[in-house]
Amino acid sequence: MWDNEFLHQPRERLPFIFKPDERIFRKAVDKINPGGAFSDTMFITEKRLHVEAARGLGMKAIHFQAPGQTTGDVQHLIDLVPLIRDFVEAE
């Protein structure tokens, strides 16, 4: 198990990374399309902080309004269809 001393190190010294760190987005994009541009990537999540970070990197990011949330770009999965279609067709 991780001890308190380990967990309270500066983030850059920890052996793992988490969203919204740019490095985790880079790893995800590279896994699908090595060297791919963030601008060619669509990211969908219920986490507003992650949406803002992805948009800051140039991704098309959509905030899905999960149950119990009061805001979001879309409320129903079906609402993603035209957004995804527009993104793909813009290529």
Secondary structure (DSSP) of 9-76: S-GGGSS---TTSHHHHHHHHHHHSTT--GGG-EEEES-HHHHHHHHHTT-EEEEB--TT-S--SBSS
Polymer length of the chain: 91
Q: Indicate whether 6 pLDDT > 60.
A: no
- Judge contact between 56 and 48, C-beta under 8 A: no
CATH number at residue 46: 3.40.50.1000
| Within a domain: 81 | yes
Which of 80, 33, 30, 35 lies closest to 60, judged by CA? 80
pTM: 0.76
* Rounded mean pLDDT, 64-75: 93
Domain count, the chain: 1
Q: What is the pLDDT of residue 1?
A: 40
Tell me the pLDDT of the chain averaged across its residues: 85
| Within a domain: 10 | no
Lowest mean pLDDT segment, chosen from 18-32, 33-47, 64-78? 18-32
Q: What is the pLDDT of residue 34?
A: 93
